[in-house]
Structure 1
Amino acid sequence: MDSLEDTLQRLRDTFRAGRTRPAEFRAAQLEGLNRFLQDNKQLLQEALAEDLHKSAFESDISELLLCQNEVELALRNLRNWMKDEPTANSLLTKTSSTFIRKEPFGLVLVIAPWNYPVNLTLVPLVGALAAGNCVVLKPSEISKGTEKVLAEVLPRYLDQSCFAVLLGGPEETGRLLEHRFDYIFFTGSPRVGRIVMTAAAKHLTPVTLELGGKNPCYVDDSCDPQTVANRVAFFRYFNAGQTCVAPDYVLCSPATRERLLPALQRAITRFFGEDPQRSPNLGRIISEKQFGRLQGLLGCGRVAIGGQSDEGDRYIAPTVLVDVKETEPVMQEEIFGPILPIVTVGSLDEAIEFINRREKPLALYAFSSSSQVVSQVLDQTSSGSFTGNDGFTFLTLLSLPLGGVGNSGMGRYHGKFSFDTFSHHRSCLLAPPGLEKLNEIRYPPYSDRNQQLIRWAVGTWSCTIL
């Protein structure tokens, strides 16, 4: 096998030769990725079941289908996305052509997580390939089954002169980050995100950081408790809670909590049966390390629903905690498991104040029969995404970007946003070689008259050429 240095040099040489720039080459890579998804659907589902005990339903709708939609959208729109984008002109530059060119960055690194190991690996890859980059893909070593498929099967479908899968754990990733890349896309925790950003800063490499956080879910007194319980339980316990945009804790009044608890119990029983451990629809915790961390969180507050666990099966029951303190670990760290704390507040204003004194989350949810309440939460808070009266269904819409703010990350992707993320938007102006007489007003010696003419020519009211 090539050394790391040889692999990176090979990819750089491919990019510098211009191989990845033509639309035909980019489309061929995307078509290869599409065939990989179609040909290996069962293999990927088996890997996801091995890693996370995902049902075929969850694997299909949250992993494979979303990847296929991304590829197909990129293939349909690739040439249009690649076109130069004309821009407005002023009178001063009326004879020039101005536009934005979308250029590939070069050699990009995509570091993927383990919780959605197909989706969160391949969706950024779609954007990187569509934008004409060479790509180093680093799948998570924790989701071993999926990592094996991505490392052994995916390269057969892509041109290996512009693509490589590199394996390993934190040590290997650290060595990888010592090298210079033209762009780094990382999905993971804020703690590791800081490490990635520090490494990127040494080379002034731009980054997208898709991080996590504690996503609040405010439930207003006006809500129907069973409707809220159904939606919150579905999105909290999907993938055994191992979702970066899942509702992380509920904020509600004491009265709403008392109505919500039996409704949540009914929803959990309806979804997973009397014994959720036997349900084929409930996933498992990815590793013993994560299981141990989550088991420790079960000691926070008081268990109102669930609380059972089985270390040998890496099973933690769908759980609801009450009477938790803000200082306890379950309210300090992202849970990333099937545990839902409920925190009581006295009013909507108190809930908003609670949210705003914490780090900005990746997602924020508000449930109310009043559109004014939902709008107030939206208007008076900040988060990567916001949903009223539902969960993370926005992830199915390629017209909406996914991205954090503050502690929950920077940058955005999905659909055309992915193409734009992996493209350098180059400002271009092409002036005519003649017509020099028109330029005389900008040359010294300066005069008040020429200054006034230039101010007039570059004014915001000037004509535009598109």
Structure 2
Amino acid sequence: MRLLKLPKNQPMSELQKIISDQQIYFQSGTTKGLTFRKEQLKKLKSQISRFEEQFCSSVYEDFKKPHFETFETEIGLLYSEIDFTLRNLEQWTSKRTVETNLANLPARSYIQAEPFGVSLIIGAWNYPFLLTLHPLISAIAAGNTAIVKPSEVAIKSSEAVSDLIQSTFPKEYVFCAQGDHSVAQELLAQRFDKIFFTGGPAVGKIVYKAAAEHLTPVTLELGGKSPAFILPDANWKTTPKKLVWGKFINAGQTCVAPDYLLVHERDAPKLLEGLKMQIEKIHGPNPAESEAFSRIVNDRHFERVSKLIDKSKVYCGGQIDAEKRYIAPTVLYPATWEDACMQEEIFGPVLPVMPYSDFDSAIDEVKKRPKPLALYVFSKGRKARKKIMDQLSFGAAIQNDTLVHFANVHLPLGGVGDSGIGNYHGKYGFDAFSHYKSVMLRPSWPEPNIKYPPYTNWKQRLLRKLI
């Protein structure tokens, strides 16, 4: 725990004062008690329930996202995480006894989790409640205080997060810092004991650099281009259904959404037809009229995603409406590695389908690129799936589905390389906000002389046996 220090005669800003108050509150030891942690988690769950309607309404204002999806992809997962944490927290916080080596006997050894201290959580806009409050659950469970910075991009949702936190916790324990990038910059200039960031790689690098100034441990939940391999033995009835759901939910604004598809050129026609039929089945002939299809969050992101659509390659969709920030579910074919849509994470309802003629070459092309946050393989068999998953590095992978691994609290969520550093969810979230102390308890006697001079030959022979 490191106290905030300012140069002489420099007045504290409001944020600096709150960080200082949180440092004092953490040092009081209040947040470390198991009973206290459980009480705060129960209080948070109760408040989420009370704010549930406001959350759904806020997300609808920001994205035109249906209430069902907000519960399915955000609120329900928060309830699940809190319940799982409450059931297991006593075990996670207990001392874990480990073996003691022969040279140190008689002694006892154990590992003890302790909170880092004052944490900074910077949330993302695409799932504004889940990706902001989920790490907060882990921070509270581990015994930390927290400054929470929701993304300003989803305006109404950010306000709802602030309302929830302000009405639930005292600011010396958990505080919500609203504002634009200037607020984030001021926060990153301060000294924290832990930083947890969810967002894109470009901003992730800025966060990482700022953390390095104070040697602050970080977790970076980033993104990237997550591929989906559609193999010849895939189930051609259910595969398009799962792909359309995973790609176009929240209008494609999902960090683990399948970013592009790889399919053998022989199978491309039936995959494309299946995708088109499934889009029409879910959203009708005009998805703009569908109550289940969201909108792009703001004009800047709308313009960016729109520019990724190559009109000469539109297989279906392609319609846009700037006034309503609407981009139709769009399938591009045939996509190539040189296309604009393949140069960055799409983060929108545009799905490139890339045909390949050689399976091994397709794997090699993915291998050349930054490691993705997620990987999907659609296949009934084991051999090809195993080859893909053994040769490629990724954060998480699923066979024959998309996105649903996020709901498994027993699996860590996190990337590798450009897609992130560290992970969270369940016990892994508790670990992300904890430091593990190694402790050895030795009696005051006996005390053999082997480690003390003079260093004799018989001592060296004995030492070789003991170590």
Give the TM-score normalised by the residue count of structure 2: 0.95
CA distance in 1, matches of 2:180, 2:253: 20
How far 1:168 sits from its partner (Å)? 1.2
Pick the aligned partner of 2:455 from 446, 451, 454: 446
The superposition leaves residues 195-249 of structure 1 with CA deviations (integer Å, 9 ceiling, x where unpaired) of 0000000000110000000001111122232321111111000111000000000
Pick the aligned partner of 1:290 from 298, 301, 321: 301
Counterparts of 1:89-100 in structure 2, within 5 Å, are: 89-100=100-111
1:202 alignment partner in structure 2: 213
CA distance in 1, matches of 2:166, 2:440: 40
Pick the aligned partner of 1:106 from 102, 105, 117: 117
The superposition leaves residues 311-363 of structure 1 with CA deviations (integer Å, 9 ceiling, x where unpaired) of 11111111000123312220010000011001111122011111101010000
The superposition leaves residues 14-43 of structure 1 with CA deviations (integer Å, 9 ceiling, x where unpaired) of 011111111111112111111111111111
SS of 1:340 mapped into structure 2:
strand
CA distance in 2, matches of 1:243, 1:456: 56
1:418 alignment partner in structure 2: 429
2:396 alignment partner in structure 1: 385
CA distance in 2, matches of 1:450, 1:263: 76
Pick the aligned partner of 1:266 from 260, 277, 281: 277
Pick the aligned partner of 1:88 from 68, 84, 99: 99
2:53 alignment partner in structure 1: 42
CA distance in 1, matches of 2:117, 2:260: 41
Between stretches 197-206 and 143-152, larger displacement belongs to 143-152
How far 1:279 sits from its partner (Å)? 0.8
CA distance in 1, matches of 2:126, 2:158: 12
SS of 1:325 mapped into structure 2:
coil
Counterparts of 1:355-394 in structure 2, within 5 Å, are: 355-394=366-405
SS of 2:459 mapped into structure 1:
helix
Counterparts of 1:66-465 in structure 2, within 5 Å, are: 66-299=77-310, 302-436=313-447, 439-458=448-467
Checking the alignment, whether the CA contact within 8 Å between 2:310 and 2:332 is kept in structure 1 is: no
Gapped runs of 5+ residues in structure 2?
1-11
Checking the alignment, whether the CA contact within 8 Å between 1:84 and 1:100 is kept in structure 2 is: yes
How far 1:94 sits from its partner (Å)? 2.3
Over the matched positions of the two proteins, sequence identity in percent amounts to 39
Q: How many residues align?
A: 456
The answer to whether residue 16 in structure 2 is matched with residue 19 in structure 1 is no
Which of 1 and 2 has higher RCO (CA within 8 Å, sep 6+)?
A: 1
Checking the alignment, whether the CA contact within 8 Å between 1:104 and 1:133 is kept in structure 2 is: yes
How far 1:444 sits from its partner (Å)? 1.5
SS of 1:375 mapped into structure 2:
helix
How far 1:301 sits from its partner (Å)? 5.5
Quick one: which amino acid aligns to residue 296 of structure 2?
Answer: I
Quick one: which amino acid aligns to residue 457 of structure 1?
Answer: L
